[in-house]
Structures are given as structure tokens and as C-alpha cells.
Structure 1
Amino acid sequence: MNTAIKKKLPIGIENFEKIRTEDFYYIDKTGLIKDLLYNWGEVNLFTRPRRFGKSLNMSMLKSFLDIEGDITYTEKLFNGLEISKETSLCKEYMGAFPVISISLKGVNGIDFAAARDMMRSIIGNEALRFYFLSESNNLNEKEKMQYNQLTAVDESNRQGFTMSDTLLMGSLKTLSMLLQKHYGKKVIILIDEYDVPLAKAFDNGYYEEMIMLIRNLFEQVLKTNDSLQFAVLTGCLRVSKESIFIGLNNMKVLSITDVRFDEYFGFTDKEVRELLEYYGLTASYETIKDWYDGYRFGDVHVYCPWDVICYCDELRFDPKVQPKDYWSNTSSNQSVRYFIENAESNTTKREIERLVEGEAVRKEIRQELTYRELYSDTDNIWSVLFTTGYLTQQGKSDDDIFNLVIPNQEVRKIFTRQIMEWFQDMTKRDGDTLNMFCDAFENGDAAGVEMYFNAYLRKTISIRDTFVGKYRKENFYHGILLGLLGFKESWGVWSNRESGDGYSDILVEIEEKDLGIVVELKYSEDSNLEAGCRQALRQIEEKNYTEELKALGLNHILKFGIACCKKRCKVMVE
């Protein structure tokens, strides 16, 4: 296929205008404009996980509504899209309002002073976009001075915008008042990623100061602002009204559980099928569905757009490329790791195991939390995982009680990786036991290896995905054993290394002891562990897995056959 004749895929592009003018593939989400304008509240908050198109939709809204654009150019941008069919709405709203549009994604300072400067910079630069206000005939001298204060910079030491804290807190309200005075029209406010400053402040220890700043900023621009037409905010979390939305009774919250606007964030199955057909990638549909579908917003099942676009972009040039966890690589996955590390009760550990196995866990979800509450107890972490996309709902909820599941293979991989890393960190804290475990291998002590390995299996959170084959189940035990044996820094430990007529599970070289170890693992579906061990030992012999160790000059070689089922194992040695 000649990829040059196809539209480019918009990887990481969140600018609607750029996508539409530079020949990028665009999945039409302009129906959101129609639904919003027919049923808007004075303040509208959309909460969705990261990488589900929030910023692109905000850019789309700005392009449609902003009075600053040339109307002919704006009509061309939206020509052929769903919203263009709504002629009366387009006539009333397209290019008809002054729009203040900011993203707080970049407010991530290591301390409050740095974060506050970033906030000044974001708002100050947006104010500079309306440079004509400084000479507007519709503003008096005092009002022009107010505008100049918003955009004043300290040129002597390049410290950026100089607005005071008081001015900063009222900056968006002041700017909207000046724009209304200039245009004679009320203003639309767009605030993308509103909760990022709070998350960063909580992580870095200046949460109280940031709460005060955001609370005052929002109260003035969203609550006591006569110049406001309506506002749209986006974020990952629905932060409790008690923290920053005090008294904001004009807010309409549209979360992942709402059926309204449910199809406008993320890709629907129909949209993914059309995309794959356009690029000639329909053969990869089942793989993409398995890895990147599974989220439920309202009544609609959706795919993660970031994943679909990234994978399709690679598939276009390499049809054999395997799916990757693109979404997880855009975050630290801190909430999953914290959840696993703090799953102290056996009940919670078993619930995590059930999730990884593909089952549902029934939990009460609190969609309004302060950042102080997020990790205050395990019950709240279920809510965090749900609202941020690591878990999704299955079926209908019963008030605040949801059946939670891991949405797809990508997120399941995040859980399994974090479980393995947690387990390895946990076992390393008890070096004496690890040394005795490794000594049992070195001494050919099958009973000792079996005893210690069974003890480790009882402690860990099992990864037994019921939707994968036997080989993938073996990978879990393989990964655990590989991490345990890797504790010995003087040992050479290899995984799936070519040896003889195949690839052995694990090879170990203990040079100072002139000793080599071959380990073959089997998962026993029928719990016949002894038969599994014998099968593993036969495979070592038939495939000649000892050849690589002999080539290293090792004269003594031990062959271990290990069979596992759930949290039990059997070990044999030759």
C-alpha cells in the first residue's frame, strides 16, 4: 500500500486547526458542540482519563466559538463535519464570542513559587493574545491600565509576568470583563486540565497554597462573574466541591458515568473500524480491540484514542509489529503501584487477583474526593483507579456500587508489571531468605527450592489471566523465578536463551562453582504437578538445553523441572 496518499495520523496533536488544515486524519467529534450548545450549564466540567481527547475537544470548541477568527476560515475548518449541518447553531454561535482558553497542564512546579510563576505565565500569555485591548476605544484609561497590569513583565531580570497574587486570582475575571466591554458580548471560558496543578501540588508538598490560589481564581471567574456566558472545564478527577468549588452551584458535572456526551471522548467501535478500513488495517481489528477497547463511558464502549492512533501508525509501516502499552508510558502509574503496595489484607490481594484473571469486583465508588483523601485508605483508591481509567464499569451500576473490571490487555499489563516489580522489591528486603533459596538451587536441593518457592507464591499476588493460554500463564512463574535468581549478583542468569535445539526458560552460570543450572517451567492445568515436572525434565533432555552451559566450559550441570498451578509448585532435579 502506498502510505503517501493517505492522511497523516495525528500522534500527540491536540490542535484542531492544525489537524484540519494539514491533512491529518480526524474522527468527527463536533457533535459535542451541538449537544453542548443545546444543553449547556453556566459551568460545565468534563472528567475523563488522560489521553481520551479532552484537549483536542477544547481546541475544537475554541476554533468554533472564537470571535477572533475569520468567519470564512472558520466555516472552512468545519465544512463537512457534523456540526455544519446545524445551520441555526452555526449562525448563532460560530465565531460569535470572545473566548479565553487556557490549559493548566503545564503548572507542575517543584514548589509553590515555581507553580505560581507558571500560572502567571499561562494567563499572562493568553492575555497578550488580546493585545488590542490596550488601545481599545471601548475601554477607559483605568481599564486599559488593568489590562496592562495583566501583561506587565519584569524585563530587568527576566522573571516573567509581574502580576501580584491578588491580581493573579482575579486575572481571568478581569480579562473577561475587559473583553465583554470591548466586544459588547459575554465571554466563554475554556480551562483544560484544571486539576493538574492540584495533583502536582499534592505530590510536592504545597497543596494548601495551591488550593487557595485555584479556589480564589475559580470563584471569581466562574461564580461572581457577570461577564461569563458559559465555561467548560476538563480534568481527570472530579475534585470535591469542599476544596475548590465551594458555593459553585452553577456547575454541571459530566463524568465517565454520565450518558450525556459519552461518545465524544474516546473512539467508538464504529469509528475504529472506519479508521482501520481507511488505512487497510482491518486484519488487526481483533488485536486492537483486545488491547485498547473495553472502557465504558455512560452507555458507550470506547477505545483509548492515543493507543489506537499510535499502534495504527506503526502498523502502516510494519504489519507484524506487536501491540504496546502506549498509554501507560505517558504516566508513572503511581496509583496502581500504591494500590498494590498497600493491599495489606488478603481480601484486597484476592480482589486484585480476580481483576487480573478477568473477573469483576463489586465496589462503592466515590466520584468526589479531595486530593488529601485519594490515598487515605484502600477504599478510596478503588475510586481513583476507576476515574483515571485503570478500571472501568461492567454493566449497570446500583447507585454508587459498580462492577469494576480491568478494561483491556494493555491495562492488565500495567497491573502485572507493577505486581512483579512490587514482588521483587518486597523479596529483596529479606536477603537471608533469598540467599537460602538460591543456595537450595546451587546444592541441587529440590525439596528446599520447592519449600521456598511455595512460600513466595503464597505471598505474592497471582497473575493468572483466565483469558490467555497456558504459555502466558507460565510467564508469570517464569518472571517471579527470574527475579528471585537475579538477586545473586555473581551469577549469570539468562531468560529464553537459545541453547541446543530451542530456547530454555532459564539458564544460570555460577562460574566460581564450575556449575550450571537449567530451569524449565510448566503450568499444570489439571494440578498434576509431578507429571508437569517430568515433562519439563524431558524437554530439557530432548532439546539439549544444557549445550550452551557446556559451551561455557561448565563441568557440573543441574536440571530443574518445575511445575506450578495457582499458588502451588512441585520441583524435581536431575
Structure 2
Amino acid sequence: MAVCLNTDSANRMFHILAHDKYYVDKSGMIEIMNARINTMNRYICITKPRRFGKTSIANMLGAYYGRSYHSESLFGDLKISKSESYAAHLNQYNVIYLCLNDLPDAGNTYEDYIGLIKASITEDIKAAYPELKEKQFRNISDLLTATKDQFIFIIDEWDYIFSHELFPEHHSDFLEFLRNLLKDRPYVALAYMTGVLPIKKYSTGSALNMFKEYTMLKDPFFEEYFGFTEDEVKALCDKQSALTMDEIRDWYNGYQTRSGVQLYNPRSVVCALEDAVCQSYWTRTGKMDEVLFFLKYNIGEVRDDVVKMVNSIPVRIEIEKEFSAGQEKPDNKKEIYSAMIIYGLLSYHDGSLCIPNKELMLEFEASLEDEDFGYVAELVHNSGEILNATLDMNGDAVAAYLHNIHNSELPILKYNDENSLSCVVTLAYLSARNKYRMEREEKSGKGFADFIFHPIRRNLAGLILELKADDTPESAIAQIRNKEYYEKLKKENVKNILAVGISYDTHSKEHQCVIEKL
């Protein structure tokens, strides 16, 4: 039974995907791939974060090109069927499909790992070409050359041993294996490789310089195929009634193409629609996915930026170099951010760095509680006190607490405007996220409230916070009433609603707080 050559696995997996209720047709990408077969551009490496549909695309390509089955019924109604190149390439190729996250059951050395890959290819080729079975070959490339046929290579998770820090002393050997297998070989009709980490920077000796790379930082061709566009998400939302487009947008939007097209995290969107609830579906599949793993390399340098981004303030920075497979640990701010962009933890567009969406905001907010964040962590740990004071309608205690934060050592909190006050409030009430769904600049009534705290538990009061610089807290309370910011909470049947007016005098540096029951 074949393991990697002309197997039916990709066809079966894509069949399941294509018949899913929330399937999004990305087959238009095949037209681009068809145009690259047997050209100088036939080597393609696409690296995107986990959960962005890389394996789904790989299965789609395997199902389309593989000659061991007929998949016209799968693709006949998809976008690719309208392409002039559709019929010419459908099921016309020998496909070698390798998923490089497979480790041998017995043995845990690099020799065991690479031996499993080599054995899988060798055994499948000799089974498919009996005339080669008894012959000896120096390497796999000689064996493939002897077939006198062409192959399409689909290699999923090419970077597995890099991202999981396996066999570091053999990383260059692994790159040489891929080079010997693929580079300048007449049997390669197309080589499609996918993973999380880019390769170019660490292809020493030009080992893999034949590949064109498309990453989270540099991708002019394939961006829209990895992630859902606004229109695609709207079409999915129309298939159900539990969740609105606004809810999905808030939770899972946040990435962009070069042209500014919004992209959504595909796996999270589908999970939310299937479960009929927006929540975090961020799956930590190892330390390389965790926010703190990167931030801890230089928390002192990135701390203020994280506080900004948690407050939805973009950070302006130019990121030129990409974090790549085999790279040493990031040791400065730009390298840390580059790695976080590659892993999808941050989004980067037009020189602005930000936290993409609410799903990841939860990860960053949680990171602020780590003791390595120093004074910020102390603020977060103590933030339960200000929530209690607010619920007790103790405006003086709230004002005193805000005053202490605003006069902390954090440079971002020195700004004399409502933006700074908003940052103070976010830090002050960070622990409230366990009891409230905290919305900033939320549309309610006749305008946008600075903060609305939607209680998760029915016995909690709903909170509406309005902030004023060089004004009075009474003015903030009046705005809450006049613009009816309480409308959303009333529609949610919240019985107890508190209006919280907070002011900050930029000259005296004093805070005031008034709390009234609505």
C-alpha cells in the first residue's frame, strides 16, 4: 500500500472538507499553480501561521493533480472549473505527498526521522515501477530520475524539525536532503512546500534558493487563499442565525493583504459558527505559539508597546527581516515582533503593528499578569480592588486607584489626554475580563460609549464608563444618560446598571470619579 506516492489520502480529506457546511472555495489558487508547472517558478514555499488552512490547500492540490483517482465530481462546481487550464491538469500527475511531522514509532534520532522519509519514497517508487525494484541507486534523486516520469511534490510542515527544535545539529543536513531531492531535477514538475517558518535566510550555501517564498510579511500572490475574506465570512454567516457578522468581525478579523483586503482566521470562524458562540479557539500547540515565549526575550523593551497594543493603539515600526527556520532566539524588539508576525500573534500592515482581534487580545491581556512584566503585572493583580470599589459605588476609591496608575513608571501613561486615560482604565479593570465582556468604543444608544462592561453572570451590575480630560465626571454621567449608552445592556436584560464618570485634570494631575445607578 502506497504511503506517499499517488495515495488516496489527499482526495479523501479534501472530499470531507469540500462537503462541509462552512466550506470556502479556494480552488482559484490552482490556476496560479497550473501556470507554474514545468517553469522556472515551479518551486513554491508558502509559510503561514497554524490554523490558516495550509493543510487544507495541500489536500486540495493533491486531490486535483493526483492521477490515481478521478476527482472531477469534487472540482466540477468549484471556481477552478471555469479556468482554461482546468481540464489539462486535472488528475494528470504522479503526486508525492509528504507530511514531515511524522516521527517513526521506533527510534528518536535524526537518522530514524530522515530514514522514514527516504524509505517511504523508495518503497513506493519501486512498487510502482517494478523494473527498478532490484536495481541499486546512490540516492533517491537517481531513483526518481530512472523512472523517466515527472512528479508533483507536495510537502506539508516542511519546517517541523525547526519549529519543534528537533535535531538542531542536523538542520543543515535536512536542507541538503531537500536540495538533493528537488533542485534542478527534471522529474520535478512542481514543488509545493508549506509550513510556518520561512526558509530563505537559513538556506546556507544556496541550498533552497530555487524556492520562491510567500510569507506573512511578503506575499503578493497567495494572501487571499490563506484566511477568509470579508465577503467569504459574510456568506458563511448567512448559513446560520446564531452569530452576527459584527460579532465574527470583532473576534476573528485583523489580518490584511497588501492591498488592504481584510482577512479572518479561518479555523476560528468555522469553530465559532459550528458552536454558535464567539470565544477563543486559539490552540497552543507548543511554546512557539505562546505570546509570552517571545515577549520574555526582552520584556523591558517591548513592555510599553504591549500596553499600547492592549489598548488598541498601533505601534509604528519597520520590520524588514523575517524570523526564519533555524534562527537563533530573537534578542531585540524587531526580531521578537518579526517572529510574532510569522506566527500570527501580531498583524503588520503599512508599518503598523497591532494585536489582530479579540481572540488574541485575550492572550496578550493574560500575558500582562506574568511577574516578568513587573509593575504592570502588579497593577493587574491588584485590579480586582478597583472593580470592587466601582460595584460599591465608591468613586473616591476609584479615583485614587486611577491616580496611582496614571503616575506609574510607564511612559505611555504620562500622556495628558483621553488616550492615556483610556490606557489607565484598561489596566485598572483588566481582571474584570473574567466577570465581564469588556467592549471599548461600543455603539449603543445614540453614540459610542468609551467602555461598556457586559456582565457574564446575571447577578453582576452592568457598567458604562465615560472618560473626560479637563472636564467633570458629572459631564461624563450626563453624556451617558443623554446618549442612552445603556440601551444595549437593557436589551440584554441587565437589571442593575451603573454609570461611571471619570475625569482627569491635565494641569493638576488629579482624577475624579462619580458613580450613579441608572
Q: Same fold (TM over 0.5)?
A: yes
The alpha-carbon deviation at position 39 of structure 1 amounts to 3.2
1:29 to 2:20 alignment: no
Counterpart-to-counterpart distance in 1, 2:318 and 2:108: 40
Bigger helix fraction: 1
**Which of 276, 289, 304 is the equivalent residue of 1:349?**
304
- 1:478 counterpart residue number: 429
Q: Given the alignment of the two structures, is residue 113 of structure 1 paired with residue 62 of structure 2, yes or no? A: no
Q: Is residue 49 of structure 1 aligned with residue 60 of structure 2?
A: no
- TM superposition shift of 1:263: 1.7
- Contact 1:214-1:244 within 8 A present in 2 as well: no
User: Which residue does 1:190 correspond to in 2?
Assistant: 154
Q: State the match for 1:15 in structure 2.
A: 13
Q: Supply the distance in 2 between the matched residues of 1:325 and 1:451 (Cα, whole angstroms).
A: 34
Residue 422 of structure 1 corresponds to 370
The answer as to whether partners of 1:49 and 1:389 remain within 8 angstroms in 2 is: yes
The question of 1:62 aligning with 2:59 is answered no
Give the Cα–Cα distance (whole angstroms) in 1 for the partners of residues 254 and 472 of structure 2.
Answer: 35
- Counterpart of 1:394 (choices 349, 353, 360) is 349
Matched, 1:503 2:482: no
Instruction: Tell me which amino acid in the other structure corresponds to 1:353.
Output: K
1:49 aligned partner, one-letter code: P
8 A contact 1:51–1:306 mirrored in 2: yes
1:59, CA displacement in angstroms?
Answer: 0.9
Match of 1:286 among 243, 246, 265: 246
Cα distance, 1:235 vs structure 2: 1.6
Residues 114 and 139 (structure 1), Cα distance of their counterparts in 2 relative to 1, 3 Å cut: closer
Matched AA of 1:195? D
1:235 paired residue number: 195
Amino acid corresponding to residue 430 of structure 2 in structure 1: G
Report the CA distance between 1:390 and its aligned residue.
Answer: 2.2
What TM-score do you get using the length of structure 1 for normalisation? 0.63
Match of 1:376 in 2: 331
| d(CA) in 2 for partners of 1:454, 1:340 | 28
Residue type of the alignment partner of 2:349: Q
* Structure-2 change in CA distance of 1:571 and 1:232 (3 Å): same
d(CA) in 2 for partners of 1:294, 1:384: 17
Cross-structure match for 1:141: 134
Deviations 1:78-136 (A, max 9, x none): 22112223354422x22222211112234599xx93565345445545655x2x72483
Residue 359 of structure 1 pairs with residue 325 of structure 2: no
Q: Distance in 2 between matches of 1:223 and 1:63?
A: 24
What SS does the aligned partner of 2:135 have?
Answer: helix
1:381 to partner: Cα distance: 1.0
**Does the Cα contact within 8 Å between 1:337 and 1:418 map onto a contact in 2?**
yes
CA–CA distance in structure 2, aligned partners of residues 337 and 281 of structure 1: 36
Q: Is 2:295 the partner of 1:295?
A: no
Shift of 1:303: 1.1
Given candidates 76, 81, 87, the residue that maps to 2:78 is 81
Quote how far apart the aligned CAs of 1:472 are.
Answer: 11
Alignment of 1:161-560 (within 5 A): 174=140, 177-179=142-144, 181-182=146-147, 184-201=148-165, 208-223=168-183, 225-243=185-203, 246-256=206-216, 257-277=218-238, 279-281=239-241, 284-299=244-259, 300-315=261-276, 321=277, 323-329=278-284, 332=287, 334=289, 336-345=291-300, 349-350=304-305, 352-354=307-309, 356-367=311-322, 369=324, 371-395=326-350, 402-419=351-368, 421-423=369-371, 426=374, 458-459=408-409, 476-479=427-430, 503=460, 524-526=467-469
User: Structure 2 regions of 5+ residues with no counterpart?
Assistant: 1-10, 390-394, 435-454, 479-499
Are the aligned partners of 2:28 and 2:80 in contact in 1 as well (CA < 8 Å)?
Answer: yes
CA contact (8 A) 1:393 1:405 kept: yes
Q: Which runs of 5+ in 1 are unaligned?
A: 1-12, 147-169, 316-320, 396-401, 484-495, 506-519, 536-560
Going from structure 1 to structure 2, the CA distance change for 1:116 and 1:269 (only over 3 Å counts) comes to farther
Q: 1:454 to 1:106 in 2, by over 3 A?
A: farther
Q: Which amino acid aligns with 1:263?
A: E
1:353–1:461 CA contact under 8 A, matched in 2:
no
Contact 2:312–2:354 (CA under 8 A) maintained in structure 1 = no
CA distance, structure 1, for counterparts of residue 115 and residue 225 of structure 2: 31
- TM-score, length-scaled by structure 2: 0.69
Identity of aligned residues (%): 22
Deviation of the 1:412 alpha carbon: 2.3
Once residues 461 and 503 of structure 1 are traced to their aligned partners in structure 2, the CA distance between those partners, rounded to angstroms, is: 34
The two structures, once aligned, show a CA RMSD in angstroms of 4.9
* Partner Cα separation in structure 1 for residue 111 and residue 405 of structure 2: 48
Q: Distance in 2 between matches of 1:370 and 1:135?
A: 34
The structure having more radius of gyration, on CA atoms, is 1
Q: Is the 8 A contact 1:62 1:99 kept in 2?
A: yes
SS class of match (2:25): coil
- Give the counterpart letter for 1:313 in structure 2: E
Output one character per residue of 1:1-58: Cα deviation in whole Å (capped at 9) or x when no partner: xxxxxxxxxxxx99213324x6554211111111111135232111212111111111
Contact (CA 8 Å) 1:307, 1:326: kept in 2 or not? Answer: yes
Q: What is the letter of the counterpart of residue 198 of structure 1?
A: F
Tell me: CA distance 1:133–1:417, structure 2 relative to 1, closer, same or farther (3 Å): same
Does the CA contact (< 8 Å) of 1:474 and 1:521 recur in 2?
no
2:252 and 2:264 in contact (8 A); partners too: yes
Q: Give 1:461 deviation, angstroms.
A: 9.3
Counterpart-to-counterpart distance in 2, 1:384 and 1:347:
13
